Amino acid sequence: MLLFVEERIALTIERCSGIVSVNDFLYSPDKVDIFDATCMRLQTIGEAVKNIDNLTHHDLLAGYSDVPWKSIIGLRNIISHEYLSIDPAEIFRIVKIHLPQLHSVILKIKDDVDAGSVQDLL
């Protein structure tokens, strides 16, 4: 699941590399497709994070408390159940600011798992 999250984050960052303002998401039908796909990937990231948290009995992610895990899961819920209230400016900010930071943390968690330093939590 960590690999899935890592891949979804990297793909989202890559696919949004040409998006330089929130208006770019809404500029054309092709850009709206990028926005919709971005929301779907953010939704799946939130679902995977929720599953990781549940499978590790809330212990693994708690060790990386600088990440707002509940907000990531909450965004998944908003995208899933309140799609009409999604704010494109917030999605833009998440993609450009928060996803690169999350990517670094996910890589750190993967390294810690590979090194066995979190084995007791798995």
Out of 8, 41, 76, 98, the active site residue is 76
Any idea which residue has 């917030």 for tokens?
A: 90
Annotation marks residue 81 as catalytic:
yes
Residue 4 · residue 50 · CB < 8 Å? no
Out of 41, 81, 93, 103, the active site residue is 81
Rounded Cα distance between 64 and 68, Å, is 9
Annotation marks residue 103 as catalytic:
no
Among all residues, which ones are annotated catalytic?
Answer: 76, 81
